[in-house]
Structure 1
Amino acid sequence: MSTFIKYRNDSTVSVDEACTKDSVTYYLITVNVGPVKWTVRHRYSDFDELHDKLVSDHGVAKELLPPKKVIRNKTPKFIEQRREGLNDYLKNVFNYLKLTMPYIFAHFLDFHLYDIYFLLQDLAKKCFLEGDKLLLNEKSHKFSPLELHAISERFKMACPATEKQDQMYDFSHVLDFCSQVNSLSIEGSYETWKKLSVINFASNNIKNVDWAIKLVPRLQQLSLSSNRLSDLCDISCLHDLRALNLAMNNFSCCDNWHEKIGNIVKIDLSQNKVASLKGFSRLYSLESLDLSCNLITDIEEVQNICKLPCLEYLWLTANPVASSIDYRVKVIEQFNARMSEICLDNEKASEKEIDTARVLQALRIVKEGKTPSRGVGGRSFGAKSLGQMRRFKSKAVLTVIRKTSFHQNQRE
């Protein structure tokens, strides 16, 4: 939707073309308000009727409108001349009235259908004139998605009056009506919902997401940040979903998310209460995972995600684990051959960190390597075999340390 009050100085109108249908000529008006654009069709008689009211009520010069013509007014040459004249007329009137934007002029340009402020003027008028009757007779009041969006956006605006007008257009009538509604239903075209690819439900006090999410099957980006969610419903039906923002909620457990999400690429779970990464271990398409500002304390939790083949970006900053000694090296080391590919907390590993991680990796092999108590066929290993195994492990560590020292000397 457009916001004329915000983009008043970045708004234009023009009469771009004329078309004839059933022997009636219509002039196509293009309205641009900031990034929003729409078209309106009007006959010359509509312009004439508007002009009379603007002359009498708003001081528009009478001679601005191109004159009427009764004879030969259907020729292509005349229609083009009139289009040019109406284009100049509309531009002049728009520049003259855009500071006040009278109600009648806004309606002529369909602002009441596409602009937040003017749509709410019509809604306020309806609530003022019919509100009590509607509350008395309706079991459930119906709002369109655009009306709900306009009401939400209106709260963010200072919205000075565009003209001194009747108080029945005041937004307070909408607020008063909404405060008394007991049941609300949203009506709109399902075909429109099916085309949506990006939805932002941030900061709406949402506690759960229900089956209605299936109404947007082509959704690619979904933001539910700054709500009150603590559990994720099954959204695997959203096959095109790639980015999911769940920041600033109440998530603490993320078990079996691979069964609920599908082929997700990016997850933002920052500023929650997550303590374990086990639930992400099978999200094989995941490329970016933001878990900053959570409750992860154990560095070994990274083992749950270190084998995800596509993971490149990981945020763990502001977790308890991030304050541990050599935190970055210990995290990077767990990604083995991919340690140089991981961008941890918005920063890739330095050569020094990679070298240190290789040493830790060798030490881990020694530490986790289990000395078997039984040989092949159930026979015990002798002292000689055990000694050879210990010497092999020690050589592996020394080899990594020598290679690391060599790389460091080369750089120096």
Structure 2
Amino acid sequence: MALLDLATVSLPLDSSFSVKITDHKIVQDGNFVLYTLSISIEPYTWTVQRRYSDFAQLDKLRFTDKKKSFIPKKKTIGNLDAEFITDRKIELEKYLKSVIELEIWYQRQKHLHSLPLLIAQFIDMHQYEIHSIVDDLSLRLGKVGEEWIDGSRRIPKYFEFTPIEMHAIGERMRLAEPTLQGRADLGVLMEFINSLHSLRIRGGKGFVGTSSIVSNSLSIDVSYCKNLLALWVMDGDANRINGQFQLREHLRTLVIHYSMERCKDVLGEMEEEWTTLEEIDFSFNRVVELDHSLSRLPRVHSFTMTHNHLSDIGRYLLDLPSLTYLDLSNNQIEELDKWNEKLGNIRVLLLAGNRITNLAGLSKLYSIEFLDVSHNGLTKPEDVTPIGILPCLTELKVEGNRLTERADYRTIVLEAFGSRHDEVLLDGREVDGREKSTIGVRLALNRARKEKERRDEELRKRQERYLTGE
């Protein structure tokens, strides 16, 4: 259903469409009166503030023949008197209603379903009504759209729409009306959208502007973005997004922030694969588990899921054959039990800011090259040393754990890597000469201890065989 559809407003104006001047305030510094207009097209309302000079400018542009103008005359003396302001509010309200009624009548004679943009912008309908929003976008993008597209080809960047703009575009496309309305050509807007490679939709948790329209209550259709490579949704509602499955064969990057509770709300329930998707960022959401929708992402190599509510990774990440980068920082993960059975060939694993107390569950993830477990619950050397056998690990971050309060934590951690200790970058620092010497001595002593234990064990066994007569 259209957001605010002027085709539903009959003549004469009825209670579904009203424009009133409900309040005013005197701006002392400027020595003028600012009037508050309240516009209502049920069930939505919004407010606009205008001064007399704004009305005069509107009248000048609309009625170039002054003989046809009926705006109340300007008054320079006594224009701040309470009685005058009360009368002026009534006069300006009658004037505006008459102009709008006249314009709607003219538009309908031309079989058009929107106000002229001049009037629509005066009462901010270009922010709240679908025809006016689309007309305004068409005119603006007709001037700068092609240049913006050319620039984005040279330096990739996101073009940003609001939910109400995307909603208006989708609703306008469904209406059986001409694409050309006055000076505004819907075809220009659609050509721009079809040329977009990167789109960001930034919503909000409250109302749209001064209106009663809740931003995240609006449906958004992205299916018109025929060549989109990157989609970024912020502060929205993933359940309100439609048409994203039609992007499966060309979208490469998908970013959803502050907008979802389940992965399948965005990736869907269907069995079809997202054949081109390579990077996913679902950070800053309310996701508590990774569901089966992740198993249809054959080319995703980077998955970022920070600042959610995960306590475990489940079993579906194993179905991502190309996944090499996984960021699960700032979740609620405590246990890493048998993660080698839940992940494939991960090279970069970021687990900062969780509740992890032991890294033994990572000891068989032999492909890891970079591991960040900073700011967790690691307290003892034994909590970290199990990963010393990982053959490809060359960078490790453990800062922010209680273990690092020990003066010798670096040498203890690096010692676990044995002869590879000088190949590992720990908390952003290479092994220095003093640490290398200390670790070398410890490793030598450890080898000597193990050799002594081996010889003692062999001696014990020989003695047992002698005593038993074997």
Q: TM-score range by the shorter chain?
A: 0.5 to 0.7
CA positional deviation for 1:301: 3.0
* Residue in structure 1 matched with residue 314 of structure 2 by the alignment: 233
- Identify which of 292, 297, 315 aligns with 2:397: 315
Cα offsets for 1:105-129 (capped at 9, x unmatched) = 2475897xx954266325158789x
Q: Residues 216 and 183 from structure 1, CA distance in 2 versus in 1: closer, same or farther, beyond 3 angstroms?
A: closer
Is the partner of 1:222 in helix, strand or coil? strand
Q: Residues 352 and 191 from structure 1, CA distance in 2 versus in 1: closer, same or farther, beyond 3 angstroms?
A: same
Q: Residues 380 and 204 from structure 1, CA distance in 2 versus in 1: closer, same or farther, beyond 3 angstroms?
A: farther
Q: Residues 226 and 183 from structure 1, CA distance in 2 versus in 1: closer, same or farther, beyond 3 angstroms?
A: closer
Aligned partner of 1:172: which letter? I
- Identify which of 313, 325, 349 aligns with 2:431: 349
| TM-score normalised by L of structure 2 | 0.47
Aligned partner of 1:338: which letter? R
Matched, 1:175 2:224: no
Is the partner of 2:419 in helix, strand or coil? helix
- Identify which of 265, 269, 280 aligns with 2:362: 280
Matched, 1:203 2:247: no
Q: Residues 294 and 379 from structure 1, CA distance in 2 versus in 1: closer, same or farther, beyond 3 angstroms?
A: same
* Residue in structure 2 matched with residue 222 of structure 1 by the alignment: 303
Percent identity of equivalent pairs:
28
Q: Residues 324 and 57 from structure 1, CA distance in 2 versus in 1: closer, same or farther, beyond 3 angstroms?
A: closer
Is the partner of 2:303 in helix, strand or coil? strand
CA positional deviation for 1:307: 1.2
Inter-partner Cα distance in structure 2 for 1:305 and 1:280: 7
Unpaired runs of 5+ in structure 2?
Answer: 1-115, 119-134, 146-157, 175-195, 220-236, 251-273
- Identify which of 384, 390, 395 aligns with 1:302: 384
Equivalent positions of 1:5-404 (< 5 A) are: 102-106=136-140, 115-117=159-161, 120-124=164-168, 151=201, 153-155=202-204, 172-177=213-218, 186-187=242-243, 188-189=245-246, 190-192=248-250, 193-234=274-315, 235-367=317-449, 369-370=452-453, 371-372=456-457, 374-376=460-462, 378-379=464-465
Inter-partner Cα distance in structure 2 for 1:118 and 1:275: 43
Aligned partner of 2:204: which letter? F
Aligned partner of 1:219: which letter? V
Cα offsets for 1:261-295 (capped at 9, x unmatched) = 10000000001011111111111110000000011
Unpaired runs of 5+ in structure 1?
Answer: 1-55, 59-100, 131-145, 161-166, 382-412
Cα offsets for 1:154-189 (capped at 9, x unmatched) = 3399999xxxxxx9xx793543457xx997675422
Note if contact 2:206-2:214 (Cα within 8 Å) is conserved in structure 1: no
Inter-partner Cα distance in structure 2 for 1:186 and 1:295: 41
Q: Residues 200 and 337 from structure 1, CA distance in 2 versus in 1: closer, same or farther, beyond 3 angstroms?
A: same
Q: Residues 122 and 206 from structure 1, CA distance in 2 versus in 1: closer, same or farther, beyond 3 angstroms?
A: closer
| TM-score normalised by L of structure 1 | 0.54
Aligned partner of 1:249: which letter? N
Q: Residues 197 and 367 from structure 1, CA distance in 2 versus in 1: closer, same or farther, beyond 3 angstroms?
A: same
Is the partner of 1:347 in helix, strand or coil? coil
CA positional deviation for 1:252: 0.5
User: CA-atom RMSD, angstroms?
Assistant: 3.8
Inter-partner Cα distance in structure 1 for 2:288 and 2:386: 28
CA positional deviation for 1:338: 0.5
Is the partner of 1:330 in helix, strand or coil? helix
Inter-partner Cα distance in structure 2 for 1:359 and 1:230: 40
Note if contact 1:204-1:226 (Cα within 8 Å) is conserved in structure 2: yes
- How many equivalent residue pairs? 254
